[in-house]
Structures are given as structure tokens and as C-alpha cells.
Amino acid sequence: MSLTAARDVLRRSPGARAGAIAIALVLAAEGAVLLLAPGEPGVSPAPVAPGEFFSEEHLERAEAYRYGQRLLLFGGLGAQALAVGALAVGRPRIARAALARLARRPALGAAVAGAAVVAVARLASLPTSLWAHERAVDVGLSIQSLGPWLTDQARALAIAAVIAGAGAVVLAALVRRSPRRWWAVGSVVVVGYAAATMLLAPILIAPQFNDFDRLPDGSALRAEVVELGERAGVDVGEVYRVDASRRSTALNAYVAGIGPTKRVVLYDTLIEGVERPALRSVVAHELGHVAHSDIPRGIVFVAIVAPLGLLLVRELSGALARRAGAAPGSPAAIPALFLAIAVVSFGVNVAGNQLSRKVEASADAFALRVTDDPQALISLQVAIAQRNLSDVDPPAVWRAFFGTHPATLERIGAARSWRRGEP
């Protein structure tokens, strides 16, 4: 087929055009993974048998718990897809009437439609979310009673609805102004939103759910963190203790923010629940994220995939909106737009998770280099897996689609390789 003929096929066939864009997006995302892989690679893990570190009872209990949680996750995602799909294509009579009224005021209508889509999606998955929460309570991972849990869910929904409403207003305006080329400006908006979220979430959103206390300058723990940072040549920024124990017994730590909001956050359960060498190992791991500029790395990944991602969203949402008889950029087209964004984001996240696993393995290597204490990393991973009831060797398909970190056995194997002096 000649180039001209191929161009004609793409112009006349929306399906062929969407397929070509999807292939280009996959290639761009995989290229971004290769381009943005950390310069300090992870350590190749040595073989590890689960029984070396975990009892058969723990392995069976963890597998049963995580298997059930995965089923509930899939059920929730399916419920959300069906609910939003009904709004996008089927549109029950009451929804059609409401969206028709909203069309009289496009900006307000888009905001209400965006918030409503998020609300419908969250409510559709509420039963499975509640079931997953109750299972976490049953195994001791969550200590939050139903009332406070529902309050958190309502608060999260309110925040998501505000963000979705604002996003719908912007995207709908872009679509109305330029139905064919809105994706180009939209990709800039998406990257700006990602950067703004990274900057502001630690000071605007996270404090809505937890209390964060900055470690005082004279504290022994902060002194250890600063010493590790100096040894690694890392500007630590602020170090915070978060009251995770108000909801959960899980162990965790993370890096958040960019620029003036950059911080290392340690769960109080982690500070009190592991020995000092293991705590130093997790702090060194988080400092590795700072040293490698991993949060900006994530923003660059978004910048690479956003243009083709939104181009595919244009094709998918346009097809759905046309089927429902909704004008581009109208409130009635918002459900189709959000459904297309969700589908494309899910696909892009598969590549994003590949990059995340490389980033996390690199941070483990950084921690091993800074602390030179592989046993501390092993003890940390065992403690986290036991406390969090982790599946230490999850199914390969799950890891490929949802895994953001190397599996527990891989991380233990990397520490074992380091101890043996293997690359």
C-alpha cells in the first residue's frame, strides 16, 4: 500500500486511525521507559525461595488475602466502567434530561457533568471498596471503623469532584474551540496539572487526611537522616512523621513534592515498628528517589506520552459521543471524554509501572550503596511483607499490569546479590 493510500485509509476509517495512534502511543511509552530508566540500575536479584524467610502459614494467608483484594479491585473497576459507559453511550432517561439542561450553560454544565461522572464512578465501586476495607479490618491491616472510613471516602470524593469539574471545564472549552486540534494544547494542560499536583498535593491534599509533623532539628532520627543525606550528597529537604497509625498498621515511607514542598515522609508505624538499621535502609531508599530526581522523571514521562495519549482520547471520545448524539465539547460529551481518558490512562500506566519498577530497584541499589548493609534491607522487606500481609511473589500478569515495585523476593534477592558482591 502506498503512503497516499494509507493516509486515505486513516482519514476515512476512524477505527484504523485509532489503531494507528494506539500503536504509536505504545511505542512512545515504551521508548520513554528506555529513555528515562535511571542511570544507576537495580541489582540483579539472586534466587530466593519463599520458605527461607516466610512461614507457610504467612504465605497462604497473604496469598488468600491479596487474591481476594485483587478480585474486588477488578470488580470495582468493572463497575466503574459500566456506570460511566452507561452515561457515555446508553445515557438513562434521567441523565439525558439533566445533560440537556446543562447544555444551556456550557462552562457550568461541563463542571457539573465532570463532578457527576466522578461521583457516579466512585459510588459504583463503593460496595467493593467497602468489602475490601472490611477484609483489611478482619486481618488487622486497617483499624479504622466504618464511620471514619466513610468520612474519608466522602472527603476524597469531594476533592476528586472539584478537580474533575475544573478539568472538564478546561477540556470542554478546548474541544469547542478546536475539535480536531484540542489535544495539542490539552497535552500542555495535562503536564501542567501533573507538575502542579506534585507541587501542591503535599501541602493541600495530604493534610486533609493525616497530620504531618516535621522532625525537629535536634531529634536523633532527623540527625540520622541528615547524616545519610550528607553521605550520599543529597539535599534532604524536610522530613515528616505522619500519623498513619490512626488508620492502619501497615509500614511505609515515601517521597513527595518538588521544589519548596519536597519532603521525605515516614509512617509512625515504620518509625516504631522496625529496628534502626532497617529504618536507615528505608530512609536511604527514599533519599535515592531524591538523588535521582524521580518525581521530575515521572513528570517527563507524562510529557512524552500526553500528546499521543490525548490524540487517542480524541478518537475514542469522539466515537462514543457521536454514538450518543452528543456535540463535541458539550456537557453531554463529558462522560465519553472521561471514559476515554480512563481507558487510555490504564494502558499508559502499564508502561509507567515498568518505569516505576526500574526506579524502585534503582533506589534499592542506592540504599545498598549508601548503607552497605544488605541485611538491613532484607530485614526491612521481611518486616514490611509480614506486617502488610504482602504477596511476596505475586502472579506475573499482576506485576506486569499493576506492579509499581519489584516483588518482595526480588528485593531480598537483590540484597543477597549485593552481599555476595554480584553485579
pLDDT tens, position by position, 216-233? 877 788 888 888 888 878
Are 171 and 217 in a shared domain? no
CATH number at 272 reads 3.30.2010.10
Alpha helices in 220-293 (DSSP H): 220-232, 268-273, 276-291
Q: What is the 3-state secondary structure (H, E, C) of 120-176?
A: HHHHHCHHHHHHHHHHHHHCCCECCCHHHHHHHHHHHHHHHHHHHHHHHHHHHHHHH
The confidence score (pLDDT) of residue 9 equals 46
- pLDDT of 252: 85
Final residue of a domain: which of 271, 287, 303?
287
CB 236 within 8 A of CB 226: yes
Q: Is residue 196 located within the same domain as residue 331?
A: yes
4 is a domain residue = no
- In terms of phi and psi (left: phi > 0; alpha: psi -120 to 50; beta: otherwise), the region of 91 is left
Q: Give me the residue label for grid cell 528485593.
A: 411
Q: Which of 287, 320, 339 is the last residue of a domain?
A: 287
Q: Are 297 and 305 in contact (CB under 8 A)?
A: no
Residue 325 belongs to domain spanning: 39-211+288-420
Tell me how crowded residue 377 is: count the other CB atoms within 10 A of its CB.
28
5 pLDDT tier (thresholds 50, 70, 90): very low
CB 269 within 8 A of CB 140: no
Q: C-alpha cell of 4?
A: 497516499
Q: Above 70 in pLDDT, residue 423?
A: no
303 and 415 in a single domain? The answer is yes
- Three-state secondary structure call for residue 373: coil
Q: What is the residue type of 282?
A: V
* Short-list 161, 133, 136, CA closest to 147: 133
Contact 39, 288 (CB under 8 A): no
215 phi/psi in degrees, rounded to 5: -65, 125
Q: Are residues 254 and 126 in the same domain?
A: no
Domain boundary among 287, 305, 329: 287
The answer as to whether 13 is a domain residue is: no
CB contact at 8 A, 312 and 343: no
Confidence of residue 393 (pLDDT cuts 50, 70, 90): very high
pLDDT for res 216: 81
Q: Domain for residue 19, yes or no?
A: no
Same structural domain, 394 and 329:
yes
What is the pLDDT, as a whole number, of residue 294? 92
**Is residue 350 one of the residues assigned to a domain?**
yes
In tens, the pLDDT along 292-316 reads 999 999 999 999 999 999 999 999 9
Span 232-256, pLDDT tens digits = 788 777 888 999 888 888 888 888 8
pLDDT reading at 377 higher than 50? yes
If asked whether residues 337 and 274 sit together in one domain, one would say no
First to last CA, the chain: 48
Q: What percent of the chain has pLDDT over 90?
A: 60
User: Within this chain, do residues 149 and 223 fall inside the same structural domain, yes or no?
Assistant: no
The answer on 371 and 292 residing in a single domain is yes
Quote the DSSP letter at residue 245: G
Tell me, yes or no, whether 1 lies in a domain.
no
Same domain assignment for residues 238 and 283: yes
Pair (336, 192) in one structural domain: yes
Q: How far is CA 383 from the centre of its chain?
A: 24
Same domain as 258, residue 347:
no
Alpha carbons 370 and 157: distance in angstroms, whole number: 41
- Whether residue 256 is found in the same domain as residue 395: no
pLDDT of residue 329: 85
Q: How confident is the model at residue 6 (pLDDT cuts 50, 70, 90)?
A: very low
Are the CB atoms for 362 and 411 separated by under 8 Å? no
Domain count, the chain: 2
Cβ–Cβ < 8 Å for 102, 168:
no
Model confidence at 3, in pLDDT bands (50, 70, 90)? very low
Domain contains 33: no
pLDDT in tens, 117-144: 999 999 999 999 999 999 999 999 999 9
